[in-house]
Amino acid sequence: MQCTHCGKEVRETVHWQKRYRVDYYLLHTGQTEYAFFSNLKEDAQPLRYLKLTQPIDIITCVRCYSYPEIRQRLDDDFYGRRPFSVMEA
């Protein structure tokens, strides 16, 4: 795996008894569309949710994650303000 932003090769998280080392963060995102669940309650409207139709995994190394502009881009995607796919990596 490599960082989406800088291309650095990243390693899996390593766990020890009293600590751990994280080398990357993963944002599972992509294009969505509205879908509906039937509500089990009588006379209730269906429940609407966003269904992930075209998943994209954004891998961010620890170094890139420390940059405020990259963190802002990831936050914007996560909160639905601006999709990552229309931004430059």
Q: Is residue 5 part of a domain?
A: no
Contact in structure between 51 and 31 (CB atoms under 8 Å): no
Q: Is residue 23 part of a domain?
A: yes
Contact in structure between 38 and 64 (CB atoms under 8 Å): no
pLDDT digits (tens, 9 = 90+) for 58-85: 999 999 999 999 999 888 888 878 777 6
- Give the CA dihedral 11, 13, 14, 19, nearest 10 degrees: 140
Q: Is residue 3 part of a domain?
A: no
Q: Is residue 57 part of a domain?
A: yes
Q: Is residue 2 part of a domain?
A: no
Q: Is residue 6 part of a domain?
A: no
Q: Is residue 8 part of a domain?
A: no
| Calpha distance 52→85 (Å, rounded) | 14
Domain span at 74:
14-86
pLDDT digits (tens, 9 = 90+) for 42-56: 888 888 888 889 888
For residue 16 the two structure tokens come to 């020890």
The number of folded domains in the chain is 1
Q: Is residue 31 part of a domain?
A: yes
pTM of the predicted protein model: 0.70
Q: Could you count the other beta carbons within 10 Å of the beta carbon of residue 4?
A: 20
